[in-house]
Each structure stands twice: as C-alpha cells, then as structure tokens.
Chains A and B, each alone.
Chain A
Amino acid sequence: MRKIIHIDADSFYASVEIRENPALATRPVAVGGSPDKRGVIATCNYIARSFGVRSAMSSAKALQLCPDLVFVKPTFELYRTVSRQMQQIFREYTELIEPLSLDEAYLDVSACKQCQGSATRIAEEIRQKIRQQLQLTVSAGVANNKFLAKVASDWNKPDGIFVITPKQVDEFVRQLPVSKINGVGKVTAKKMASLGIKTCGDLQTLNQASLTEHFGSYGLRLYELAKGVDERPVESNRVRKSQSVEHTFDDDLPSLDAVLDKSIDVYDELLRRYGKICDQYLVTKRFVKVKFADFSQTTLEESMGSYSRNWQNLADYTQLIETAWRRKGKPVRLLGMGVRLKEIKIDASTPQLSLF
C-alpha cells in the first residue's frame, strides 16, 4: 500500500510577504497586480478572503469588495527561495517529491523509515519544521493516493492536517461532493447536477459506459476517482510539456466581441498559473483552443520565434484567438490558452557563478 502526502502552503505568496513585513499580519493582504493597471490577484491572505477576495479575481473587483486591501507586488525570487527551502525539508524524508508549483507538492513516503513509517506523523513533523524554520504554515493531506491526499490537504485548511486511512476511503468518497474532484469545474458539476449526481457516491452508481457517454474520455477517469482509486505515481522528475487554461462558458459566446472580452480572463489565469512554475520552465510557444457550440474545435499554435520578446502579451493571444475563431465564426463554448514549455535545467550543483 502506498503512503502519499500532499503539502499545500497556506496562501503562500501572501504568507511569505507578511512574514517579511509583519506589520501586514492584521490587515487584508493581496499579492498581485495593482488595481489601476488591470491587475489580477495571485494570492490573498485569509483576512482578505473573509471579504470575498479570491485568487484570479481582478484587483479592481477585489478592491471593491475590500477597500482596505493592501496590494503587494509579487517577488518571485523570494518565493522560489522559500519553495526550495521547503523542498529541502521534504528531502529529509523522501526523494520521491513531485512539486506541482512553488507552494504545492506530493510526497511518496511509502519507503520512509522515520516516525516508524507513519505518514501522519511524518506530515506533522514536516508541518512543524516548516513552521519553526520558515515561519510559514502549510496544510497536509495523507492518503493512499494522490487524488485523495490532495482532497485531504484542503479539508482542514489553513494550518491543518487530514488523514484518510485505507479503511475510511469507501465511506469518505461516498459523501464527497463531485466538485472536489480535480477537473470537475463549474460546468461539469452543473451537468452532473442535472443528472442527479452530487457526490462521488452518486457517481459510483453509473457504469463506465454511461460515464463515457456523458463525459467523453474523462468518464473513465471519473469512474476510478469516484471509487477513490488513483494509480498515478508520484513522479519526482516529471517534466511538464505545457501549461494551459480552459474556460467552458455557461452560455455560449455569441460573437467575436464576446470571445475577445472573455479572452482577457483566460489570459490572466494563464499568467497566474505560469507564475507558479516560471522558475522551472521557459516558454517556447503559445497556443489557443476554441471549441464551438457544435463541439467542433480548432487549435492554433505559434512559435515564439524570437525570445527577445516577452511572451506575456495579451494582444498576441487575442490575435491568435481571433484567427482561430474566424475559421468557423460560430458561437463558442470553450476558450483555452496555453504555453509550450521547455525545462530550465537548474542543477542546484551547477558550479557556474553569476554576474547578477
């Protein structure tokens, strides 16, 4: 049996900024772009969340919800350093670490001898060490696979831990809302609700065939997840090939104007997600996907050509979206944007010294 821990730092960027400037501790804090420049919130602390402020929300809207919100510009260099320090602590227990981003990682501690091999106690020790050494809180989820470990880390957030023992799995998933499944977004959840499916228990009543019928290729995966089964290994050297964001819209976007308008949100979310892995990957291409109301879809990809240009340019993306949209010119149900990635080989042991 496997023992997997999912570690998720609590409002990571915001917590790091508050640690650096403790005067912020009692105030609502958001890390992200400033509201006057069409910025977006990357992370906010829990005080800000109590006002309804959320990640990926526009800074302008956040300011409306919480007029006293303090905006801090992200300092990625610092987050990377702290992220590496956290990984150093993980490494005391296992080499099987799969970082998902700067603030999140899976650990496979199946072969770990410390704490008599108790994953729960290992997770507690890691949380304690991070608190003492880095003055930050993280939440941990412990289970026998990645899917459940991730659900568990969110269960008692912030600064919490939740353990799903193998015996509890069946009972736990039966009552688990489908929205907790990674990949079930707003639109899929709505569709499930219309079929009378609210929990994984409900989902279990459907067989593979009907799941495939309703949810396409994702149906087979749902079939397993609904039973709390997830065989994906923790991959310590997993190399991402791309990073992308897709938004499915409740109502089809009727016109090019509507498409371009919604493109902005998708783009902002892409920037936010890339920001979390920007220390490990370089962008080589940008691509877009447009799925029309009739479910036909088209994708368009563009090489960055010259690297002397910042890839983060909304106009380049809207241009691609427009070109793709013109291929059919019909109402749109889904917009996607992404980047193809190239791993930056940062060998910690690289002996080359830098000028800056």
Chain B
Amino acid sequence: MKFSISREALLTPLQIISGVVERKQTMPVLSNILVVANEQGVALTGTNMEVELLCRISDVEVVENGEITIPAKKLSDICRSLTDSHDIEFKVEGDRVHLRAGKSHFVLSSLPAEHFPNTENEKNDYSLKVPQQELKKMLDATAFAMAQQDVRYYLNGMLFEISHKHLRTVATDGHRLALATFVTETGVTEDNPKQIIIPRKGVLELSRLLNDDKDVELVFSDSHLRSTIGSYTFTSKIIEGKFPDYNRVIPRGGDKFVVADRQDLKAVFMRAGILSHENIRGIRLNLSENQLEVSANNPEHEQAEDYIEVDYSGDTLQIGFNVGYLIDVMNAIDDEKVKLTLSNPNSSALVEAVNDDTAIYVVMPMRL
C-alpha cells in the first residue's frame, strides 16, 4: 500500500474517527484505524464494536492499493504535529507503516486488516429521510437526559420512535425525561410503529456529524442503524431491550401553569443551587401569585433565598427538585420563555418552551 495525502485532507477525518476509538482495549486491533487504499481513494474506519465511523477521502494519490490497521492515537498525534507545507506519504513495508512528510519520517507498527472487525451488511429493514438540522435539534434537545451507567442498560441510550406521522426521540434516566418530536410522513403503518434504542455513544457521535442543510437518511436493519452523511458513514448497534412506556409518565393533570423568562429562571436556579446539598442538590420552590421563591440549604446550615417574578395565578405550592435537572432543561430549551406545569409536591413537572413545540421535559420532584 502506498499513497500521498495532504495533511489538511487527513486531519479532520482522523480526529473525528479517533473519537470513537477507545483508549484502553482488550483487543489491540480496536485501538487502530483501518486504512484501505484503492481506486476510489482512501477509506478510514474506527470502531468500538458498538459505533463504527468510516470516512472516504477522494483527494488522494494512490500509488499502490492495500489495506492495513494503524494505531489511531499515534497517527492522529503525528498528523496534528506536522505542518501543512508537505503532503504525507504512507507506505507499508512488511508489517511496518512508513510516514514521510518533508524531513519527518515515522515508522509505525500495524496489525493486519483481517483482524479488524467488520459490521456485517444486514438486509435493510426500513429507512427514513429527515433534514439534518431537524434531527440535530432533536438529538441535542434530548441527549442530556440519557442515563450514563444505569443497570437498566436500555436507559443508557436514546429511543427513536417512528410512528406513521412522526419521528420521536426520547431519553430518560428514571428521574427526568426529554422527548422531541418531528412531524413527518414516515411510510410506517399506523398499527406498526417502530421503537429502536441507539446507545449513548452512537447518539453523541451522530449529532457531531450533522452539520449542513441537506437531508440525512437513517437506515435501520435488524441490529444496526446506518447513515451516510457527507463523506462519513456512521453505523451504530441497536440496544436490545424494551424502553419504558414514556407516555405513562408524561403528566396530564397539571393545573398550575407558570410562565417565566428562561434566562432569569436559570440564573435563579444556579444561584440557589450553590448552597444546596452537594450530592442531593435539592432546592425548594415556593410558588405564589406572580412570584416564585427559590431556596436551598445544606448540611453546613448555609442558606440561599431568591425570588423571581413569574406569570402565575392560582393556589400556592411548595415543591422540591434536583436543581441540576432543572438547569439541564433550561439549557436544552432554546426559547425566551418557558412554561412549567405543576400539580402537587409529589407529581412531576412538565416543562416546555412557549414558542417552540419541538420538545417537552418531565422532571420528577424531590421529597422535601
């Protein structure tokens, strides 16, 4: 294998692909990037066995075809440290890979390409086209609520629900839930909606790839989601398991409607949060006519008390929340005003933007 490539053409793909390659691996080949050179150019692939990312680079001069795997981090570090003034030449000699750029010369170890796991090509089950910007918006609006290391492993991911009239993303860690909907013709029949869980890592990587105005096609097979975005092909495993019935936990009976400025509300939460218990992070909301009092205290008997003007008329209510959950929602909403719907101290709060119905948020309270 032998080819030359400009540093510029290589650097960005290398950095994006290195993002899925994990540092510590039991299988050494997984810390490598697969490099395939042929008439079409060069293709780079990285995987963590759950998410695979492939990039095709055509702006390259291939002298001799071939395929090999090269340590991802070292390759990416080398590429970053070089300057743009010279092209980089790759040449495989025996089991070593020689990299030359100007006066620099590196000899890297390699592993045979056959050792690299390839995701089998399954029969495509279903595909859906959505505008990239819409999908990105949905992912970014809900990803924060995914669980991180929950024993209920199906919560460490995001539910993609495709009904006959919408694509919906849902994420929850059991304490709060985020749901975003994009209304679209899906071609799915009304009585046969699909529910697919994409792992956390897959969701985060997919979101990073979505950045132009074109459509993106999501192709689902039995056990994978695949999508080609620009010169990248993203493949993620699907998590087996049943996602909880999210409809059941969206509150419907709230009778206390509060509208407030999002930035102001967030600022009040953040101030009070400073003196909440550092692990439990509970704050107390006291709602009364056009006023919300936010207070917190901690085991050191320090106290915070703050007030904000809100639109509210109705009975008073005292309710506790993990302040982190509230701040997360304030960050995820992209609107000037937010609306909170509450009912009693033991029932969840529904939070949404006033002028944007993309997403809704459900947050369970804390016992005071």
Contacts and interface: CB of A to CB of B under 8 A. Distances in A.
Genuine A/B complex: yes
A307 B199 CA distance: 9
A354 B174 contact: yes
B148 A353 contact: no
A220 to B, nearest CB: 34
A166 B50 CA distance: 58
Nearest to B325: A352
Contacts, number: 81
Given A308-B200, A308-B239, A353 B22 contact: no
Interface stretch (A21-29, A121-129, A297-305): A297-305
A355 interface: yes
Interface in A338-352: 342, 344, 350-352
A353 B149 contact: no
B358 interface: no
B275 interface: no
A37 to B, nearest CB: 15
B249 A355 contact: yes
Contacts of B362: 355
B172 interface: yes
Contacts of B26: 300-302, 320, 323
A198 to B, nearest CB: 44
A310 B239 CA distance: 9
Interface residues of A, number: 24
B353 to A, nearest CB: 21
Nearest to B277: A351
Given A302-B26, A306-B200, A309-B239, A355 B172 contact: yes
B239 A282 contact: no
Nearest to B347: A353
Interface string B255-285: 0000000000000000000000000101000
A142 B240 CA distance: 47
Given A278-B151, A306-B48, A309-B199, A355 B364 contact: yes
Interface in A274-316: 278, 282, 284, 300-303, 305-310
A310 B367 CA distance: 32
B364 A354 contact: yes
A344 B151 CA distance: 9
A305 B201 CA distance: 10
A282 B172 contact: no
Interface in A178-220: none
Nearest to A311: B153
B297 interface: no
Contacts of A354: 174-175, 364
Contacts of A355: 172, 174-177, 244, 249, 348, 362, 364
Interface string B337-368: 00000000010100000000000001011111
A278 B157 CA distance: 21
B150 interface: yes
Contacts of B154: 308
B149 A307 contact: yes
Interface string B143-161: 0000011110110110000
Nearest to B321: A352
Contact of A308 (B27, B199, B282): B199
Contact of A309 (B153, B282, B320): B153
Given A309-B153, A351-B367, A352-B175, 19 more contacts: A303-B24, A306-B50, A306-B199, A306-B200, A308-B201, A310-B153, A344-B151, A351-B366, A352-B280, A353-B175, A353-B346, A353-B364, A353-B367, A354-B174, A355-B172, A355-B244, A355-B364, A356-B174, A356-B244
Interface of B: 22, 24, 26-27, 48, 50, 148-151, 153-154, 156-157, 172, 174-177, 199-201, 239-241, 244, 249, 280, 282, 320, 322, 346, 348, 362, 364-368
Interface of A: 278, 282, 284, 300-303, 305-310, 320, 323, 342, 344, 350-356
In the complex, the 5 A-B pairs of residues with the closest C-beta atoms, listed nearest first: A308-B199, A308-B156, A351-B367, A302-B26, A307-B149
